[in-house]
Homo-oligomer: A and B are copies of this chain.
Amino acid sequence: MNAQPNFAPARPLKPGTVSLVGAGPGAADLLTLRALNRIRTADVILYDRLIEPEVLDMARPESDLVYVGKEVGHHAWPQDRINARILEEALKGRNVARLKSGDPGIFGRAGEELAILDAAGIPCEIIPGVTAACASAAEAGRPLTERGISDTLVLTTGMCRDGDPLPDAAKHARPGTTIAFYMSVRQAGRISEGLQMRGMAGDTQVTIAANASKAEARHLSCPLDQLAEILASAGITGCATLIVTWPKPATVSPPLPAAEIKANEFI
């Protein structure tokens, strides 16, 4: 924290603006033009661990850059402290760009920052960004949905609030679905087992994209039943997206009549 002067600063009549900016998957040229504009006009930029230096290089030299990074499972800046800092800067009348990797609305904890700003009456906009699944699939040269093969895309995460159970993504696995797992390398064994138990073939290819779009990007693919071993032997431990498609059967069966859909099947 910076040392504070001894006098209270004059509170400006108008608070600054806050932009929750999707910075995309990493590569600076995967920023949108609107994100770039907000980075260039911000007085202060709060950024995460996953924001690349080349993105920060886009800022004006006179902007303050504040690192509010979180390591996986290990929070340097708890969310409350980030929320308070955003609010404090906006109340000083400064324009804040809160950079979030990917899209702010997807696993970006935007809701918590929006809520505190809303309660304080500070205007806040969200700038959407390219999410990791899109960048990972693009770089791997594969689509996420495909006519006649997969018509639904599920994005899920291995990271949850402490004490919450992990999302049971296997329940979303069914023919015609692609699942992209974010931040799930540590759960690879559980994912692989859950999907196979659900009926997905062990030899289904999983696309593995580590650090997609960044200089250190790595792309692999392996059969579902070897996922945990391949990740371990390749030394992939951090930020990776795992993408797997359960194709529709070649002959499509008719949908169940509505009356046969079981309510509360999830319980």
Contacts and interface: CB of A to CB of B under 8 A. Distances in A.
Contacts of A127: 138
A85 interface: no
A30 B37 CA distance: 11
Interface string A123-149: 011111111001101110111111111
Nearest to A103: B134
A106 B144 contact: yes
Nearest to A158: B151
A157 interface: yes
Given A143-B108, A152-B156, A103 B126 contact: no
Given A151-B157, A175-B266, A258 B141 contact: no
A108 to B, nearest CB: 7
B143 A198 contact: no
Contact of A105 (B37, B106, B125, B142): B142
Contact of A106 (B30, B145, B165): B145
Count this chain's copies in the assembly.
2
A69 to B, nearest CB: 18
Contacts of A24: 32
A196 to B, nearest CB: 9
Interface in A219-267: 248, 252, 254-256, 258, 261, 263-266
Interface in A17-43: 22, 24-25, 27-34, 36-37
Contacts of A142: 105, 111, 114
A137 B148 contact: no
B22 A134 contact: yes
Given A145-B105, A161-B148, A167-B152, A138 B128 contact: yes
By Cβ-Cβ distance, the 4 closest A-B pairs, closest first, are A126-B138, A174-B266, A128-B134, A111-B146
27 contacts: A27-B34, A30-B128, A31-B33, A32-B32, A105-B144, A106-B134, A106-B143, A106-B153, A109-B143, A111-B142, A111-B149, A114-B142, A126-B138, A128-B137, A147-B160, A148-B164, A152-B167, A152-B172, A153-B155, A154-B154, A164-B252, A165-B254, A166-B255, A167-B176, A194-B258, A194-B261, A199-B263
